[in-house]
């Protein structure tokens, strides 16, 4: 009887260049793709998901790169972006009751325009890509959103910026950054759960995003006082009553 030996399992391969991943690999967040060190070091990154891009990618006119997956889900057309914006705002109003009396306009812009808008508002240049911003100049209130974002990123960012618009109208004294940014992330988190995107919502609690700890602080308040209790607390602090 001849001995038999199990065939070794083939090595995983880099999702970009196909090289066998014998010495380990890299991943991005919870994605299944695996990347070699060379691709992680030398390849341009997708502005939508942060993954290194292969030959099949799209370069937008403002210099951003998108992988095939993010490109297929990206929001480019003004009419589609307006529809998604309206659907997001309607959902936040229905779910959380965050109604604006004055309202806010919406604009879809590119990277240079976003930088110009932020500079006009007195914000310093940002090393990280800015996806959206709420800006008030006199009676003009506008949410500016970057074009070419994947749909879910677009809706999450709209939810965050709409929360800032609501704060600006109803909580004029809210200066605590943890509450201000944490609440905006909390609104985005609940919007994802409302959409049924529980995994994306939970990813907000495991990411390296600088607002994660602020979101966790507001979620801790919610565990004590509930959803409406969070809103009441923000209103009280923002009106100088707490």
User: From CA 21, how far away is CA 74, in angstroms rounded?
Assistant: 30
User: From CA 223, how far away is CA 13, in angstroms rounded?
Assistant: 44
Q: How many residues belong to the chain?
A: 242
In sequence order, what are the residues at sequence separation of 6 or more whose Cβ sits closer than 8 angstroms to the Cβ of residue 70? 46, 47, 48, 49, 150
Encode the chain (242 residues) as per-residue pLDDT tens digits.
Answer: 444 444 444 678 999 999 999 888 998 876 788 999 999 999 999 999 999 999 889 999 999 999 999 999 999 999 999 999 999 999 999 999 999 998 899 999 999 999 999 998 888 888 888 999 999 988 889 999 999 999 999 999 999 999 999 999 999 899 999 999 999 999 999 999 999 999 999 999 998 889 999 999 999 999 999 999 999 999 999 987 76
User: From CA 242, how far away is CA 238, in angstroms rounded?
Assistant: 8
- Asked if 238 and 167 touch (Cβ cutoff 8 Å), the reply is yes
Q: For residue 106, is it left (φ>0), alpha (ψ between -120 and 50) or beta? A: beta
Would you kindly state where each structural domain of the chain is located, as residue ranges? 75-238
- The per-residue DSSP string of 179-240 comes to HHHHHHHHHHHHHHHHTT-HHHHHHTTTS--TTHHHHHHHHHHHHHH-HHHHHHHHHHHHTT
Q: For residue 90, is it left (φ>0), alpha (ψ between -120 and 50) or beta? A: alpha
List the one residue out of 62, 159, 52, 160 whose CA is nearest residue 115.
Answer: 62
**Rounded to a whole number, what is the largest CA-CA distance in the chain?**
89
List the one residue out of 179, 184, 201, 220 whose CA is nearest residue 96.
Answer: 184
């Amino acid at each position: 009887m001849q001995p038999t030996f199990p065939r070794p399992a083939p090595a995983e391969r880099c999702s970009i260049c196909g090289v066998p991943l014998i010495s380990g690999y890299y991943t991005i967040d919870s994605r299944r793709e695996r990347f070699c060190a060379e691709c992680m070091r030398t390849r341009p990154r997708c502005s939508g998901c942060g993954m290194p891009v292969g030959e099949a990618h799209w370069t937008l006119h403002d210099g951003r790169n998108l992988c095939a997956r993010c490109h297929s889900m990206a929001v480019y057309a003004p009419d589609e972006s307006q529809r998604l914006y309206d659907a997001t705002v309607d959902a936040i109003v229905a779910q959380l009751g965050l109604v604006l009396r004055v309202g806010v306009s919406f604009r879809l812009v590119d990277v240079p325009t976003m930088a110009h808008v932020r500079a006009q508002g007195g914000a310093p240049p940002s090393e990280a890509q800015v996806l959206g911003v709420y800006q008030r100049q006199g009676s003009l209130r506008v949410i500016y959103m970057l074009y070419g974002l994947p749909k879910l990123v677009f809706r999450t960012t709209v939810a965050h910026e709409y929360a800032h618009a609501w704060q600006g109208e109803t909580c004029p004294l809210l200066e605590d950054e943890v509450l201000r940014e944490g609440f905006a992330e909390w609104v985005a988190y609940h919007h994802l759960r409302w959409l049924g995107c529980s995994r994306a919502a939970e990813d907000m609690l495991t990411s390296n995003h600088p607002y994660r700890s602020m979101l966790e602080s507001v979620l801790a308040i919610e565990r004590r006082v509930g959803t409406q209790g969070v809103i009441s607390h923000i209103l009280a602090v923002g009106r100088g009553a707490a």
